[in-house]
């Protein structure tokens, strides 16, 4: 297990009726699932929903009490397929992943699930990773809802609304026999807020009951001709109208502000707070969201309830559609609804607002101002001065900062075991020239950035080696593909390694094994090394690749051995053997290792045990300030220091106290023949009697010679 405890968060899951929950959005969703009588939960970790998975992993007693089955799925496809349990059985199930990355992976299963329809509520919680800080391409989950005819919830970003949306989502799913997606944007996942909790509910039907009483309904199975005849008809003639009815009856979409007005704003629920802030700044809303402009808030963004849209628009001169991302699916749907009923209200949307990019409060403030300026200028009469940084940003002194404020690309943590792998790769490049390097998804991706600048593509999780598959011809150079252990088990084993073995690809595949799915927060996976009583771990990657026919396989158990890494990589690039050359480079993720070992070390020291701490240092007399070591490492603890020595021009290298003594810098300087400045200091806490005796002897001998030389040395003080 990753050595981080979520015990405090688990306590929040136990809150009962009337108690105040205070915390993060994603944790509120977790609690809402239990309040809704969910029978099973699955998912694949990733920002911004990792927390949901992590907390449930640690919440076994709570889940056991309720009879909820939880599992960490092998991939989003596995998680989506898990919802199959709700097709025949009245079981409430929820799965979660990062979207759209995970929704892409899950698409196959979602298509089939949506075709079959469900009898138990099926909820898919999507961490919508869009906008600033996003780590994936900018696409919208909305498209998936449209193509599969699943419903999409986009609640207002406060805990109360989000929690209500979870509960509504299950009911909507059951009322319309359709899986429901609930999208929560990054900031909403991490928002700290509050809601009044309810008691957790045991599932009305349990997995056990279902398993022991199998049901088989031919009509629900995706098989021709059912999928064309029954499912297609059901989707349009039964499920769609049922959903519309439920949304209307339960008033899932909300209205704010005056009932009538010359203009109005239609917005995605997730945009609510930013729209309100825009209105507040324009003097058109108070602190509590009371708006002078009629607002129609879509907590359900798919399907659109045409009747509600028309009722809102009719009688208004113009409406503004606030829809983040592109294409503008909602605006098109609203336009169609108005056109079909021949409503002549002007529809503003993209154009008044930017076509692309984050819809921040500032962007919305300007967009609403423009909209009102064109269609209802009377609202802009008594405006307070709008906040603006334009004057500051136009000042030459502030502009000058653009040249000096450094970019801060994400990089490997201090002591990361992946750093030496890429240092070795750089050394090989110096010898054999640059190669085509396909990267994958995961921490190792940071090697694309400075100082390594290695890697030319990423195509998706577990697809690194597959994305090099075209480069399978005779040539002077071979392709190198890198994949993490997370990607390997996600689907890399078959899609990437199997593909390369079958097609006799001669390229090099580097599997970076750091014992966890580290980039997503250090979750266990099949090859994790620690014993996990709840899961099967310690399944070797090397054995797996050999099992599917790989011949040239090298296991390196200490990635910090830069010389060995370099030589193995060179061998892989030059070996005559046919088929992929697979290097499994294994060392534990330092972040997780430190979490485990630091407390043990402190306890050992406290208990008076002999403990040795290692850390590295640089001799400032011998460092000449070339920084080659930094270019081969980029370790955060390896920094610079300006000296007051008048004979030196350039800052020297210094290692700060965050050093964890991984040894990479020493190994690199040795392998790359850099300089003798690095030293490792072994600090012995609570030295033993033998230690003390040896130290006395050594000090006596060494001290004698040191004093002798010092006495003879002529030097300025």
- Among residue numbers 6 through 45, which ones bind another protein (CB under 8 A)? 22
Q: Closest CB to another protein among 227 and 317? A: 317
> Of the listed pieces 108-116, 310-318, 407-415, 482-490, which binds another protein according to CB under 8 A?
407-415
Closest CA to 357 of 126, 130, 100, 48: 130
Interface pick for another protein out of 216, 408, 689, 712 (rule CB under 8 A): 408
Return phi, psi of residue 300, to 5°.
Answer: -115, 115
**Spatial contact of 338 and 313, defined as CB atoms under 8 Å apart:** yes
Interface pick for another protein out of 214, 710, 711, 712 (rule CB under 8 A): 710
Helix then strand then coil, % of the chain, to nearest 5: 40, 15, 40
443 binding another protein? (CB under 8 A): yes
424 binding another protein? (CB under 8 A): no
Burial of 259 (0-12, 13-18, 19+ CB in 10 A): exposed
Residues 202 and 199: their CA atoms lie apart, in Å, by: 10
Residues 26 and 30: their CA atoms lie apart, in Å, by: 6
Per-residue string for binding with another protein, 60-99, x by CB under 8 A? ----------------------------------------
Q: How far is the CB of 254 from another protein (least distance, A)?
A: 13
315 binding another protein? (CB under 8 A): no
**Spatial contact of 612 and 687, defined as CB atoms under 8 Å apart:** no
Quick one: CA dihedral 339, 340, 343, 347, positive or negative? Answer: negative
> Of the listed pieces 141-149, 211-219, 448-456, 539-547, which binds another protein according to CB under 8 A?
448-456
Q: How far is the CB of 91 from another protein (least distance, A)?
A: 33
Element (H, E) at 235: none
Site for another protein in 243-272 (CB under 8 A): 257-258, 261, 272
Q: Closest CB to another protein among 43 and 451? A: 451
290 binding another protein? (CB under 8 A): yes
Sheet holding 437-439, edge to edge: 457-458, 437-439, 480-484, 508-513, 581-586, 552-556
Q: How far is the CB of 576 from another protein (least distance, A)?
A: 25
Interface pick for another protein out of 187, 535, 554, 570 (rule CB under 8 A): 187
240 binding another protein? (CB under 8 A): no
Q: Closest CB to another protein among 327 and 676? A: 676
Beta carbons within 8 Å of 230's beta carbon, 6+ residues apart: 219
Site for another protein in 156-175 (CB under 8 A): 157-158
630 binding another protein? (CB under 8 A): yes
600 binding another protein? (CB under 8 A): no
Q: Closest CB to another protein among 387 and 533? A: 387
Q: How far is the CB of 628 from another protein (least distance, A)?
A: 5
Site for another protein in 100-159 (CB under 8 A): 129, 132-135, 157-158
> Of the listed pieces 143-151, 335-343, 356-364, 467-475, which binds another protein according to CB under 8 A?
356-364
**Spatial contact of 291 and 257, defined as CB atoms under 8 Å apart:** yes
Q: How far is the CB of 651 from another protein (least distance, A)?
A: 6
Q: Which two tokens stand for residue 548?
A: 């599917």
> What string of H, E and C letters represents the secondary structure of 80-140?
HHHCCHHHHCCCCEEEEEEECHHHHHHHHHHHHHHHHCCCCCEEEEEEECCCCCCCCCCCC
3-state secondary structure of 28: helix
Interface pick for another protein out of 213, 382, 536, 690 (rule CB under 8 A): 382
Site for another protein in 387-406 (CB under 8 A): 387-390, 392-393, 395, 397-398, 400-402, 404-406
Burial of 571 (0-12, 13-18, 19+ CB in 10 A): middle
Q: How far is the CB of 101 from another protein (least distance, A)?
A: 12
DSSP state of 520: G
3-state secondary structure of 264: strand
Q: How far is the CB of 616 from another protein (least distance, A)?
A: 9
Interface pick for another protein out of 218, 288, 474, 711 (rule CB under 8 A): 288
407 binding another protein? (CB under 8 A): yes
Beta carbons within 8 Å of 589's beta carbon, 6+ residues apart: 416, 417, 443, 514, 515, 516, 518, 522
User: By CB under 8 A, how many residues form the interface with another protein?
Assistant: 139
Q: Closest CB to another protein among 58 and 234? A: 58
Burial of 233 (0-12, 13-18, 19+ CB in 10 A): exposed
Q: Which two tokens stand for residue 580?
A: 């992929």
Q: Closest CB to another protein among 240 and 685? A: 685
**Spatial contact of 119 and 89, defined as CB atoms under 8 Å apart:** yes
48 binding another protein? (CB under 8 A): yes
Residues 150 and 128: their CA atoms lie apart, in Å, by: 16
285 binding another protein? (CB under 8 A): yes
Q: Closest CB to another protein among 262 and 579? A: 262
190 binding another protein? (CB under 8 A): yes
Site for another protein in 645-704 (CB under 8 A): 645-647, 649-651, 657, 666-667, 669-676, 678-687, 691-692, 695, 697-698, 701-703
Interface pick for another protein out of 342, 621, 689, 712 (rule CB under 8 A): 621
615 binding another protein? (CB under 8 A): yes
**Spatial contact of 326 and 305, defined as CB atoms under 8 Å apart:** no
Strand ranges, E, within 413-559: 437-439, 457-458, 480-484, 508-513, 552-556
604 binding another protein? (CB under 8 A): no
196 binding another protein? (CB under 8 A): no
Site for another protein in 530-589 (CB under 8 A): 563
627 binding another protein? (CB under 8 A): yes
Site for another protein in 504-533 (CB under 8 A): 519
Q: Closest CB to another protein among 237 and 286? A: 286
């Amino acid at each position: 297990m990753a050595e981080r405890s979520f015990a405090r968060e688990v306590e929040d899951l136990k809150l009962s009726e009337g108690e105040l929950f205070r915390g993060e959005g994603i944790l509120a969703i977790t609690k809402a699932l239990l309040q809704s009588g969910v029978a099973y939960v699955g998912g694949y970790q990733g920002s911004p929903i990792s927390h949901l998975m992590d907390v449930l992993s640690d919440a076994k007693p709570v889940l056991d009490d309720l009879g909820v089955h939880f599992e960490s799925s092998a991939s989003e496809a596995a998680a989506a397929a898990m919802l199959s349990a709700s097709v025949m059985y009245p079981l409430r199930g929820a799965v979660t992943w990062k979207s759209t990355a995970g929704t892409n992976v899950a698409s196959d299963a979602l298509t089939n699930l949506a075709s079959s329809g469900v009898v138990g509520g099926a909820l898919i919680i999507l961490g919508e990773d869009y906008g600033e800080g996003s780590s994936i391409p900018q696409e919208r989950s909305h498209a998936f809802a449209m193509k599969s005819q699943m419903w999409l919830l986009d609640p207002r970003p406060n805990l109360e609304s989000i929690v209500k949306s979870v509960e509504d989502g299950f009911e909507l799913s059951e009322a319309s026999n359709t899986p429901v997606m609930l999208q929560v944007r990054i900031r909403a996942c991490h928002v700290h807020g509050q809601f009044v909790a309810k008691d957790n509910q045991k599932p009305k039907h349990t997995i056990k009951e279902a398993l022991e009483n199998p049901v088989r309904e031919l009509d629900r199975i995706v098989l021709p001709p059912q999928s064309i005849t029954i499912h297609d008809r059901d989707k349009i003639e039964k499920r769609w109208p049922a959903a519309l009815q439920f949304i209307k009856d339960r008033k899932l979409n909300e209205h704010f502000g005056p009932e009538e007005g010359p203009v109005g704003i239609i917005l995605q629920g997730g945009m609510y707070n930013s729209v309100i802030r825009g209105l507040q700044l324009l003097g058109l809303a108070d602190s509590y969201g009371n708006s002078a402009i009629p607002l129609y808030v879509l907590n359900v963004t798919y399907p659109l309830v045409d009747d509600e849209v028309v009722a809102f628009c009719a009688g208004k001169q113009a409406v503004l559609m606030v829809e983040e991302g592109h294409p503008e699916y909602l605006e098109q749907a609203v336009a169609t609804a108005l056109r079909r009923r021949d409503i002549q209200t002007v529809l503003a949307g993209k154009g008044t607002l930017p076509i692309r990019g984050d819809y921040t409060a500032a962007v919305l403030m300007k967009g609403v101002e423009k909209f009102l300026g064109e269609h209802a200028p009377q609202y802009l009469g008594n405006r307070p001065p709008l906040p603006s940084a334009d004057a500051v940003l136009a000042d030459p002194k502030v502009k000058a900062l653009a040249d000096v404020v450094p970019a801060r690309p994400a990089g490997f943590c201090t002591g990361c075991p992946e750093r030496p792998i890429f240092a070795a790769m750089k050394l090989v490049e110096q010898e054999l020239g640059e190669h085509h390097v396909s990267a994958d998804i995961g921490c190792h991706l940071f090697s694309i950035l400075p100082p390594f600048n290695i890697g030319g593509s990423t195509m998706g999780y577990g697809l690194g080696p597959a994305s090099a598959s075209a480069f399978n011809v005779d040539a002077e150079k071979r392709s190198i593909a890198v994949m993490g252990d997370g990607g390997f088990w996600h689907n890399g084993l078959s899609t990437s390694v199997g593909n390369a073995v079958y097609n006799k690809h001669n390229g090099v595949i580097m599997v970076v094994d750091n014992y966890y799915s580290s980039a997503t927060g250090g979750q266990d996976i099949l090859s994790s090394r620690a014993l996990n009583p709840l899961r099967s771990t310690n399944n070797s990657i090397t054995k797996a690749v050999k099992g599917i026919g790989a011949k040239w396989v090298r296991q390196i158990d200490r990635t910090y051995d830069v010389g060995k890494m370099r030589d193995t990589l060179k061998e892989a690039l030059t070996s005559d053997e046919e088929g992929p050359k697979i290097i499994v480079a294994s060392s534990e993720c330092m972040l997780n290792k430190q979490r485990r070992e630091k407390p043990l070390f402190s306890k050992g020291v406290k208990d008076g045990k002999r403990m040795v701490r290692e850390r590295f240092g640089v001799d400032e007399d011998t460092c000449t300030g070339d920084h080659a070591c930094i270019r081969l490492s980029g370790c955060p603890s390896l920094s610079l220091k300006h000296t007051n020595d008048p004979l030196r021009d350039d800052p020297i290298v210094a290692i700060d106290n965050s050093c964890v003594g991984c040894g990479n810098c020493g190994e690199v300087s040795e392998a790359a023949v850099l300089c003798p400045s690095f030293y490792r200091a072994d600090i012995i806490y609570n030295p033993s009697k033998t230690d003390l005796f040896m130290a006395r002897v050594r000090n006596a001998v060494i001290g004698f010679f040191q004093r002798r030389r010092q006495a003879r040395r002529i030097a300025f003080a």
